[in-house]
Structure formats: structure tokens, C-alpha cells
Structure 1
Amino acid sequence: MRRTLPLRATPTALLLCLALAGCASRLPAPEAAAAVPTQWAEGAADAAQAPTQLAGWWQRFDDPALGALVEDALRHSPTLQSALAALRQSRALVEVAAAGLAPSLGGNAGAQRTHTQAQGGINSFSLGLTASWEPDLWDGTRAGVRAAEADARAAQLALGNAQVVLAAEVALAYIDLRNAQARLAIAEDNLAAQDDTLQIARWRNQAGLVSSLDVAQAIAAAEQTRASVPQLQTTLAQARHRLTVLSGRAPGELVELGAAPVPLPPDDLVLAFPADTLRQRPDVRRAEAQVQAAWARVAQADAARYPALQLGGSLGLQALTLGSLTSGGSVLRSIMASLSAPLFDGGAIAGNVRAQQAALEQAHAAYRASVLTALQEVEDALVALQGDRARDRSLGAAARAAADADTLARQQYQAGLVDFNTVLQTQRTLLSAQDSAASVRASLATDHVSLYKALGGGWSPEAADPVAPPVAAASPDTVPNAPAAR
């Protein structure tokens, strides 16, 4: 409960408040506890070159269709629209919090008719202004404003993170679509070759040169390949549906893209240092903003332990008729001040402080986890990229050798120099090698997308703000950098 002191005690109480304000403890600023390495374990940053700009990393694939799909999704995705609405909401809440720092002014007008037996009916009219203000002696209101501003920064960074994730999801769906197209073309080409081999086996069987076993084996091989075609067509259709939904449209509305190979960017990516990468990633910066918001709420809860001063006043007119009211009437003035202090509240204030301190610890832990996750994602993408590059070289060579072996085997079988098992084995090897080579190319493209996403590509902290700020305090152009390595 709060006890309100009488007006005569206000001067003494004010002096006491000012003295307490000067010596009241201030909570220490939050410190990040996540160590950042100076170098990547799987790839070194080049200090002599500027890091590659990754705000529009999809342009590095040199694929107009991919670029158009990403840009379209960034304009129409309902996920981004939701994040944008959350940003507007958080900025409006900054206005609400900041309003507590200024005095409030209100107006009132009234009319009353009173009837008594002695005097009969009496009219009374009034018109006035009222004002009130609670000075922020302990920075509790300002701490609330700082918390709301940090929440607004976190919402802005959540929008940036949604852009990063959406661009990567669109690129991954597009790579899946192109990969399905490539594998479908490989399956259809191999099926055509196997049908030709089946026809040759039938001719040789009719001529009595081979048994029906060769024909049965040729049929089995062709039908197995034919069975993979519908599965690949399903994968292709699902990737197209996913692309359409990511852009905020219903499945089936995507314009036909035509056939094209899986795109790959050039291998000239220059990495930033780990600490610089963390400054680029919006999710890490959002976690840091949430730490700052939690710290401000601790300060806000702590300020509730101290006395509060309320100032108020009113100025008005009162008259028996409307004409008298507008001509001056009776002027009524009042001013008041009160001081309230918490004496006993059952531990509610202390409990709230402890709760906010626990929330601050949670925010610290979440920040450290986001830093570690960011570092892991970059390292995982780098090592996957290195491995898939080696696999791509080997599988490409295997596919070329398998194609040569298949051509020779079919020629020799037609000439009666080898048996059908040799042809069957080379055809299976060719299909497997070509399918694996196509898949590893898609994996390479996926590795690049994962790396760009892990590096925080897909948004720009320096880009124009997507929403006009309602107040200056609610729209910081920059957000704090991630803390450097300790």
C-alpha cells in the first residue's frame, strides 16, 4: 500500500526525495557474456579485401528467375507483412510509454439543475481545465521508455531476420525445383536409352542370338527407371507450390519457369570476421536489443520502491446561467501536490524486481545462444561447401566415365561382343552417377544459400526504414553493435 502525505509535508518531502534521488543506486548496464573467436575455423577472412556485400546475395547466382522470385516474395509475403505490423505496433507503444513523461491536460464542461422546496429550481454551469503531472524522480518512466525503444529495435531486427529467412527459403525452394527438373531430365534420357536397349534385346531374341532372360532384364531395368519419373514430377510440383506460397499466393498461380540448370554463384566470396558477421546478423542484434529491454525493465521495477510525487491543478468557470459563464462567471482555481511512498505491499515490488532480473538472465542466455548458433551455422556451411566441392569433382568425373562405358557397352552388345549383364550394369551405373552429380550440384547451391543466410545476408542495416517512424525516439536509424570479443 502507498501512504499519501498531507500537503503541508510536501516541501520537506520534496527535499527528501531530491536527496534520495542523488544517492539512489543505479543498476549496472548489461554486459554480454558471449566470447567471439577472431577467425573462422573452416575458412579465413581476408583482411586485405573488403567483405562481400550480401544484402542482395541472390544476384550473385546470375539467374534472373531466382532474383525475380526473391524480390516478389519480399514484396508480398504475409510473413513480412506480419513482421511489419509488429514493428508498427512496437513503435506505437513507444509513444504510449513516452507520454508518461509529459503532463496531461484535460477539459471538462458541465450543467446541473438542482431543485429545492425553498428556492425552487437552480441551474449551475461550469467550464474548466485540469492538469496533472508525476515527475520522474527515479527514472522509472524513462526506463519504461528505454524498454519500449529496445522492443521497437528488436521488432525492426525481427523484420530484418524475416527477410533473411524468406530470401533463403525462396532460394532453397528454387534450387529444389531446378534440381527436380535436372533429375527428371536425366531419368527420362536414361529411360529412352533403356527402351532402345530393350528393343535391341527383343530383336536379338527374335533372331535366336540371346535368350528371353535378356528381354526380361531389360524390361525390369526400364520399368524401374520409369517408376522414378512420377516421383520426380511430384517433387517438382511441390517445389513450385512452395515457391508460390512463399510469395503470398495460392499454389498453382506461379508462372511456368521453363527448364534451366541449377544456378551456382562464383567462388569469390570474401568472408567477414566473426565479430563483423554477428553485427550483420539481425537475429543476434535482436537478442542484444532484448537484453537491453530486459535491463530497462529491471530499472523500471526497481524505481517503484521509491516515493512518487503527483502534481495537479485546475482552472475553471462556474455560473448560474450560460451567459454569465461566457462573460467571466466565477473563476475557480486549485493546485495540489501529494507524495506517496510504499510502506507495505506484501513483497510485491521486491518480487517484481526479482522477476525482471530473472527475465534479464533469460535474455542474456538467449543472446549467448544466438551468438553460438550463428557461429555454428557459418562453420557448418563452410565445411559442407568444402566437402561438396570435392564430391562434385569426383561425381562429375564418374558421370563422364559412366557415359563412355554405357556407350561402349551398348555398341558391343549390339555387335554380340558382351553379354546383357554388362549393358545392364553400365546403365545402372550411368543413371546413378548422373543423378548423384545433379544432386551434388544442388547441394553446392544449397550450401551457398546456407552460408549467405548464416552470414546475415538478405537485409541491410543501412537500408531505408520500411516504416515512417511516429516519433523520433521510436525510430533509431542504427542499433547497437554486437559486443566485441572479450
Structure 2
Amino acid sequence: MNQLPPSPLRRSATFLASASVVLLSACASLSAPGGDLPATPVPATWSTGPAATAGASATVLAQWWQRFNDPALSALVTQALQANTSVKSAQSALLQARAQRDVQSANAGPSLSASGSAQRSQSGSAAGSNRFQAGFDASWEPDVFGGNRAAVNASEADALAAETSLADVQVSLAAEVAASYIELRGLQARLAIANSNLSLQSETLQITRWRNQAGLVSLLDVEQAVASSEQTRAQVPALQTSVAQSLNALAVLTGQAPGALQATLGTPAAVPQTPPGLALAFPAETLRQRPDVRTAEHRISAALARVAAADAARYPSFRLSGSLGLSALTLGTLTNGASVVRSLLSSVSAPLFDGGAARAQVRSQEAALEQARLSYQGTVLTALKDVEDALVALQGDTERLARLQAAASAAANAELLARQRYESGLIDFRTVLDTQRTLLSAQDSVASTQATLSADHVRLYKALGGGWTPDASASR
């Protein structure tokens, strides 16, 4: 370590460095362009569905799956949020972003390090010599033009974006689990309908065979009855395959091996239905509770901070450093006051010619900022579309289900009347076949539409940003 220069010279150097800081700080522009969010057209109300009224509280959507009143569904969603690999990966990304933020914050402050060394040297036949050193080194770079502060702000925005990205994964996962569970229950209902109609058609086939043996009908009626029952029987293995695949999908979503849910969910149950009375928030409020919109906002903040950091890099940088240590030829004299070595250094560096690289870096970050702003606009428009599409589908499928249920009721009555009149010999067998096929189709459509209607509610809850708690304090 070098000895300090004479005191007057040291004071002059310090004064010159301080004066340079003051003069050059007056030349810098700390304002970054485009601080506001880009304007995006947001309607005052939703075009379809229940109207949001002033002063009314929207339905709490943090745990919307509990509105279905299905313990199995709630348990599946809870387990998926804890064990799914996508959630764990997003949690790791959040921890990484927070660590990077802490690193950036630490780099913005002073640094202090300690060192120690012991050296023995010998040249030729001369006696060897020893040297022992110990000391501290400190350095600090004053953030005159806000570059370090901007870098810290960018890291903070990245951490917030990772936090809302985790929430977005949780929202999507909860919706996917619920949709898969509803699909499973819908397939099980359709399988039960197919088996029920198969039993009905088998009875009709047996009656037709008896009537053929008695000479009342021809063999044509028997073959038609066989063809109808076999067509229905062919639907059973296809539905069974779909049920097994849905069980496997749910197992993987909940972090389990395929087949793990066969014992708990293999028994058929009703398709879960959500109660009516969903109260919507205003469109603007909906956007604020969607995690993907929040993530896009944080991306803009991060890009804005990086523009400021790139702009600050065009101006001079300053550094203050110093050291305090001990240097002696023996350990015994290391603590002697005469062995103290001190140094203090102030420096300034300014880019003179870099071929335009610094300005090009600013333009690059400004382009990234524009991309983030456009991405935000696209995210907002997509969010509005998701809600409107879910509302339209919900309204249409509600009306469709009512019509199909009426049709299925009429088809059941028609099938019963046709079978009774056929047994009495009043109508031909083709009428029985037509009524049975109509009954199967109508009942299958009712089961499918009931599952679709429940899935519409899931899509609406997801579109509204349900599945997380906005503005909740996350554990740091």
C-alpha cells in the first residue's frame, strides 16, 4: 500500500473532485420519457351479463372454486397450488428475482473488505526477508446521475413482476384443475347415460326377438335392434378412455403420478354447479385485479428504469476509495504505530468517444420500453375480450341447457310411449329406434352442456382475475 501524499495536495484533490461533481450534475437530465401507462380503451360497463352498479361489491373471487360447494374440487385445487411443478418453478423465479434485487441494492452502497498477507522472499545467497500486511479497503461510488438508483428500481420492478407472474400461474392452474374436474364429471355422467340407454335398448332387443319368434315381426326388426344397441355399446369404451385420461390429467396437475386418483375420483358424481348471483366489477376494476395486467405494468416500470440507467451511463462516474492497513517485516512490529499505511483516492471518469455506443444503448432501452407499453395494451385488450367471451358463452349455454332439458324430457316421454305401443303392435319398430336414438342424443347433449356451463363459470372467474388476492402483502 502507498503512503498518502502531503496533506495540502490531498485537500486540493478532494476539492477538485467535489467541484467536478457539482458542476457536472447540473448538466444531466434525470427525466425519463413515457412515465404514464399507455391509453387503452376500456368500456364503462360490460356488454353482456349482470350490470355492475355503483356502490355494489363484486363477488369475492380469491377462492372462487369454493362457490361450487364440491369438497373434492376444493381439495384438488388446494393440492395443485401446493404441489404443481409450474407453481414451484414460478416460486423459484420469484426468489431469484428478489435475490437479484437485493444484489443490486447492495451494489449501490459502500463496500468494505479486509485483507491480510504474509510473504517471505530470498534472492540468491542473500538472507531471506519477511513482510506481513493487514488492512481494510473501502470504496463508494456516489450516485450523482441516478444510474444506480434506476438499476435498483428496475430490479424492484422485476421482482414485483415475478410476484404477479406467480399469481398468474396460480390463477391459470386453478382454472385448469377445475375445468379438468368438470370435464371428468361430465364424462362420467355421459358414460352413465350411455349405459342406461344401452340397458333400455337391450330390453327392446329382447322384446323384438320374442316377437320375431312368435312370428309377429320380421328378422329385419331384430337386426335393426342389434345395430342400434351395438352402436350405443361402442360409445362406452370411448367414454371410458376419456374418463381415464381425465383422471391422469388431474393427477399430473396435482403433482401426482397418473392413476393416483382412480380410487378417490373413479366413482361417478354430479357435475358441480355454481350458485347464481355473480356480481361483476366494473371493467377498469377487473383489469386491476388480473395478475397478467399487473405484470405488464411492472414490466413497463422496469423498462422505464432501464432507460434512466442507460441515460445516466452517458455521464461521468465518480469513485471514492481508501485503505487503512499495517505493514511490517515481523509479526511483532506489525502493531507498531509506525507501520500504519493510509491512502485516500477520489477519481472521476467520463466517456469521451465510444462510437455512439452509449446513445445506442439508450435507444435500445427506449425500444424495449415501447415494446413493454404495447404488450400492456395487448394484455388489457385480451383481458377485456376474455371477460366478454365468457359472459357471452355463459348466457348462450344457459339458454341452450334450458332448451335441451325440455327436449330430453319430451324425448323420454316419446320413447316410453313408442315402446309401449310397439309392444302392443300398434307401431313399427323404426319409430321405436328413432325415439331411442333421440333420447340418447338429447340426454347426452344435456350432460355435455351442463359440464360446458360449469366450465363457462370457471373461464369467467379466471377472466375476472379470480384465484389470488390483489394487493396482498407477499412474504419477502
TM-score (norm 1): 0.92
Say which of 32, 35, 55 aligns to 1:27. Answer: 32
Structure 2 counterpart of 1:209, from 216, 221, 224: 216
Whether contact under 8 Å (1:154, 1:286) holds in the other structure is yes
Alpha-carbon contact 1:319-1:329 (below 8 Å) kept: no
Q: Secondary structure at 1:366's aligned position in 2?
A: helix
Structure 2 counterparts to residues 81-480 of structure 1, below 5 A: 81-116=88-123, 120-254=127-261, 255-257=263-265, 258-328=267-337, 330-463=339-472, 465=474, 468-469=475-476
3-state SS of paired residue (2:120): strand
Q: Do 2:195 and 2:236's aligned partners in 1 also have CA atoms closer than 8 Å? A: yes
SS at match of 1:342: coil
In 2, distance between residues paired with 1:350 and 1:462?
Answer: 38
Distance apart, 1:120 and its partner CA:
1.9
- Aligned to 1:37, which of 40, 43, 47? 43
Cα deviation, residue 181, structure 1: 0.4
The Cα offsets for residues 395-433 of structure 1, whole Å up to 9 and x where unpaired, read as 000000000000000010011011000000000000000
Cα deviation for residue 351 of structure 1 reads 1.2
Letter in 2 for 1:279: R
| Residue-by-residue CA offset, 1:32-72 (whole Å, 9 max, x unaligned) | 22232211111321324210000000000011111111111
Q: Secondary structure at the match of 1:372?
A: helix
Amino acid of the structure 2 residue aligned with 1:32: L
Change (3 A) 1:251 1:194: same
Match for residue 57 of structure 2 among 50, 55, 71 = 50
CA contact (8 A) 2:48 2:391 kept: yes
Amino acid aligned to 1:28 = P
Amino acid at match of 2:351: P
More deviation, 166-175/118-127 = 118-127
1:94–1:148: 8 Å Cα contact kept in structure 2? Answer: yes
CA contact (8 A) 2:17 2:346 kept: no
Q: Distance in 2 between matches of 1:432 and 1:463?
A: 48
Q: In structure 1, how many angstroms separate the alpha carbons of the residues matched to 2:96 and 2:336?
A: 46
State how far apart, in whole Å, the 1-side matches of 2:362 and 2:190 are.
60
Partner of 1:478: none
Task: Specify the alignment match of 2:18 in structure 1.
Answer: 14
Answer whether contact 2:180 2:250 (CA < 8 A) is retained.
yes
In structure 2, C-alpha distance between the alignment counterparts of 1:408 and 1:233, rounded to whole Å: 31
What pairs with 1:56-67 in structure 2 (closer than 5 Å)?
56-67=63-74
Asked whether the 8 Å contact 1:126–1:316 carries over to 2, the reply is: yes
Count residues in correspondence.
462
Deviation at residue 329 of structure 1 after TM alignment: 5.4
> Identity of counterpart residues, as a percentage?
58
Q: CA deviation at 1:12?
A: 3.8
Structure 1 residue 202: deviation in Å? 0.4
- Which amino acid in the other structure matches residue 144 of structure 2? L
Q: Residue 6 of structure 2 aligns with which residue?
A: none
Could you say which residue in structure 1 is the equivalent of 2:83? 76
Q: What is the Cα deviation at residue 17 of structure 1?
A: 3.0
Give 3-state SS (helix, strand or coil) of 2:294's partner.
helix
Tell me, what secondary structure is at the counterpart of 1:325? Answer: coil
Q: Distance in 2 between matches of 1:40 and 1:18?
A: 56
| Counterpart position of 2:3 | none
C-alpha separation in 2, matches of 1:428 and 1:298? 67
Provide the C-alpha distance between the structure 2 equivalents of 1:175 and 1:442, rounded to a whole number of angstroms: 6
Q: Which amino acid counterpart does residue 250 of structure 2 have in structure 1? A: L
- Tell me, yes or no, if the aligned pair for 1:10 and 1:339 is still in contact at 8 Å: no
CA contact (8 A) 2:17 2:347 kept: no
Q: How far has the Cα of 1:117 moved from its partner?
A: 5.6
Between the aligned partners of 2:189 and 2:14, the Cα distance in structure 1 is 83
Aligned-residue offset at 1:323: 1.4
**Residues 230-280 of structure 1: per-residue CA shift (max 9 Å, x gap):** 010011111111110001111011142222111110110000001100110
1:176-226 CA distance string (max 9 Å, x none): 100000000000000000000000110011100010000000000000000
Secondary structure of 1:253's counterpart equals: coil
Q: Secondary structure at the match of 1:323?
A: coil
**Cα RMSD after superposing both structures:** 1.5
CA distance in 2, matches of 1:10, 1:362: 44
Indicate the residue corresponding to 1:475 in structure 2: none
Letter in 1 for 2:28: A
Question: Aligned partner of 1:171: which letter?
Answer: A
Deviations 1:356-398 (A, max 9, x none): 1111011001100000000000000000000001001000000
Letter in 2 for 1:169: E
Residue in structure 2 matched with residue 476 of structure 1 by the alignment: none
Distance 1:117 1:205, change over 3 A: closer
Q: Hey, what's the Cα distance between the residues in 1 that align with 2:338 and 2:254? A: 66
